[in-house]
Amino acid sequence: MNDKQRKISSVLLGLFLLLWLIGIFLGEPTRVLEQAKSICLECIGIG
């Protein structure tokens, strides 16, 4: 990993951490949890 790749990795980590935090700020985890708690009928081939 050269310096350029290390910089890109750092920028990407920062960017995705920011996106993750924005998601939390917007309340997305609640929605994700609601979805994950219920059976996704499409996922199992029904509905």
Q: Measured from the CB of residue 14, what is the shortest distance to another protein in angstroms?
A: 9
The binding track of 27-46 with respect to another protein, each residue x by CB under 8 A or -, is xxx-xxx-xxx-xx-xxxxx
> Residue 43 to residues 24, 36, 46, 47: CA-CA distances in angstroms?
25, 11, 7, 9
Could you tell me how many residues of this chain bind another protein (CB under 8 A)? Answer: 36
Query: Measured between alpha carbons, how far is 4 from 12 in angstroms, rounded to an integer?
Result: 12
Residue numbers at the binding site for another protein (CB under 8 A) = 1-2, 5-6, 8-9, 12-13, 15-24, 26-29, 31-33, 35-37, 39-40, 42-47
